Chains A and B, each alone.
Chain A
Amino acid sequence: MKITPKNLFRHELLGLSVEAHYLNHVFWGKVVAETRNMVTILTDDNKIKHLPKQLTNFIFKLPDGREAKLSGLQIVGRPYERIKMKRLKRPW
C-alpha cells in the first residue's frame, strides 16, 4: 500500500517534510519522532519542536511531490495503533 493523501493517517510519518500550523505559529521541517499525543519536528533552522497533535494542523509533503492536509486529530494515537484506525468523518 503506497503512501497517498488518503491513507496517510495510517502510514508512517517519520521523515516526511511538513508545514505545521500550531496556534499562530508555523513551523517548517521534518518529522523525527512521534508519540501518542506529540509530534517532534526538526525545523529547517535546526531546532527541535514538540507539538501536540490535537492542536496542530499539518500539511505533509509526500515523497511523490503531492501535498496532503491533515488535521492533527486524525493522527492521535501511537504509531502502531494507527495501522488499524478508521478515518474520522468529522475531523474537526
Chain B
Amino acid sequence: MSRGRRQARRRKLRDLVIQRVERALDFAFSIYSTHPEYAVKAVKQAQRLAQKARVRLPTRLRRRFCRKCGVPFVGSSTFSVRVRQNRSTHVVLRCKSCGFTRRFYIRQAI
C-alpha cells in the first residue's frame, strides 16, 4: 500500500474513533445521575478504544473525565478547579471521587 493510501486510511480511522469516543462520553454524561456505574464503564470503554486504535484524543475530550478512575466531570460535584499562585502560576483540576490531581502550569508571557 502506498504511503498516501495508508495515511488516508489512518485519517478515516481517527475520525471514526473520535466520533465514537464523543458518543460514548455524551452517553456517560447523560446517565451519570441515575446509573453512575454504567457511566464509568462507558468512559473506560472510550479510553480503551482510543488506546487500541492508537489515537490521541483532542484536548476537549481528554479533559472531560478523570483519567485515573474514569468518572465523567459532570457539574461541580465531581471535580474542582482552582488557580494557585504559590509556585509558578498553575490551574489545579481535582477529581472529587478519587482525589486524583492534575496541574496545568501557565507559561508567563515574556
Contacts and interface: CB of A to CB of B under 8 A. Distances in A.
A14 B42 contact: yes
| SS of A interface (majority) | loop
Q: How large is the interface on B (under 10, 10 to 19, 20 to 34, 35 or more residues)?
A: 20 to 34
Interface in B22-37: 23-24, 26-27, 30-31, 35
B48 interface: yes
Interface residues of A, number: 19
Interface string B36-54: 0010011001001101110
B16 A32 contact: no
Interface in B2-24: 12-13, 15-17, 19-20, 23-24
25 contacts: A1-B12, A1-B19, A3-B19, A3-B23, A11-B19, A12-B19, A12-B27, A14-B24, A14-B45, A15-B23, A15-B26, A32-B31, A32-B35, A32-B42, A40-B38, A79-B48, A80-B45, A80-B49, A80-B51, A81-B52, A83-B13, A83-B16, A83-B17, A83-B49, A84-B13
